[in-house]
Amino acid sequence: MKLFAIETSCDETAAAVVEDGVRVLSNVIATSLDLHVETGGVVPEVAAREHLRQISPVVDKALFEAGCVWTDIDAIAVTTSPGLTASLLVGVNTAQTLAYIHQKPLIEVNHIHGHIYANFLEREVPPEFPVLVLTVSGGHNELVLMRGHHQFEKIGETLDDAAGEAFDKVARLLGLGYPGGPIISKMAEEGDFMAFKFPRPMLDEANEFNFSFSGLKSAVRREVERLDSATDQTIKDLAASFQQAVVEVLVEKLLFAAQAYEVKEVHLAGGVSANRLLRQLAEQRLPDDLVLRWPVQTIFCTDNAAMIGAAGYFGIRSD
Ligand code: KG4
Ligand code: ZN
């Protein structure tokens, strides 16, 4: 079964063709990222205008690169929430129009479920339930337990900023640009993660599976304000110390939850799952009998439409 999928919830205009929920026949992404670098974050009106400009060529390219025509497509999947309203509307209107013209069923997909299903793409061996997913991105930060397809039980979430958002805000504080995650992680490679002692928030039992990163971000701000001037090396040390604190919290929570729910697999999903330290520390800390996965391609970590095709497919599959 071939699904045509569309994703426009933030600043990526994306379309893909996915076969049987796992094989990616095409995965086209046009981003308006460059336009958001100056503002240090996504400006909703700018993102929506860019989606309007990009959506037609992206749709055409996705179909072409998959070697398909519309009669080959069985259904259309589209992200309907959560996300920036005006941006989502561009994708939804396009999907509705295509579904009407080509007489295809329309499947509504939740963006976070899309990130979760990114881990099912291009796998030789399909994941085995129960699965614990840490889905961590610019807009969300959740621990989700799955006992079967499309059974999403949220067992924890952030009470304020998501980890990706904290990366973005700290990068802005340090004058490093947007998006912060990849830049901070690059700077951190040459920094000393022990140079600054930042808090590891919410590691007490009362808050077992919830997160909070806004205090950590404020701790970095206070440190920056305390320093009269910061050398390149100080910035690298700040980046490394901040990243270490975020990742240690994410991995600790993952470990608590994996033990509490006796899962077979642990999955990392969302933009922050591209983070090298997160992968390394998860590999080190989680027991060997747990299968640990992250998306097979980095492009499946951040926003893309292939993941929406996967989530759409497994949502309608009857078995
Ligand atoms: O999933 P995504 O593309 O969009 C949302 O749904 O939010 O995730 C983008 C987020 C940004 O906050 C970005 O800074 C973060 O993912 N990110 C990373 C890395 N790559 C992207 N964070 C840490 N390390 C990375 N390598
Ligand atoms: Zn996302």
pLDDT, tens digit, for every residue of 17-41?
Answer: 999 999 999 999 998 777 777 777 7
Q: Compute the distance between CA of residue 162 and CA of residue 117 in angstroms, rounded to an integer.
A: 19
Mean pLDDT, range 235-245, rounded to an integer: 98
Q: Provide φ and ψ at 68, rounded to 5°.
A: -115, 160
Query: What's residue 124's pLDDT?
Result: 87
Q: Provide φ and ψ at 76, rounded to 5°.
A: -115, 130
Rounded to the nearest 10 degrees, the angle between the axes of helix 180-188 and helix 232-261 is: 110
Return the bridge partners of 153, or none: 145
Query: What's residue 42's pLDDT?
Result: 80
- Shortest CA distance to 15 belongs to which of 275, 312, 270? 312
Closest C-alpha to ligand 1, atom 22:
181
Q: Give the ligand whose atoms come closest to the C-alpha of residue 114.
A: 2
2-119+300-318 placed in CATH 3.10.20.30: no
Q: Is the CB of 304 under 6 A from ligand 1?
A: no
Classified as helix, coil or strand, 104 is coil
Return the bridge partners of 141, or none: 136
pLDDT above 60 for 121: yes
Predicted TM-score (pTM) of the model is 0.95
Q: Give the ligand whose atoms come closest to the C-alpha of residue 136.
A: 1
CATH superfamily assigned to domain 128-293: ATPase, nucleotide binding domain (3.30.420.40)
What separation in Å is there between the alpha carbon of 234 and the centre of ligand 2? 31
What separation in Å is there between the alpha carbon of 167 and the centre of ligand 1? 8
Could you tell me which residue, 281 or 35, shows the higher pLDDT? 281
Mean pLDDT, range 224-237, rounded to an integer: 91
CA triple 148-154-160, angle to 5 deg? 155
Classified as helix, coil or strand, 40 is coil
How many C-alpha atoms does 8 have within 13 Å on its Cβ side?
29
- Shortest CA distance to 133 belongs to which of 288, 16, 261? 261
- Shortest CA distance to 41 belongs to which of 11, 64, 63? 11
Dihedral Cα 114, 209, 41, 170, nearest 10 deg:
-140
CATH code 3.30.420.40 region(s) in the chain: 2-119+300-318, 128-293
Classified as helix, coil or strand, 173 is helix
Percent of the chain with pLDDT over 70: 99
Q: Is the CB of 275 under 6 A from ligand 1?
A: yes
Query: What's residue 312's pLDDT?
Result: 98
Query: What's residue 318's pLDDT?
Result: 56
Q: Is the CB of 302 under 6 A from ligand 1?
A: yes
Closest C-alpha to ligand 1, atom 14:
181
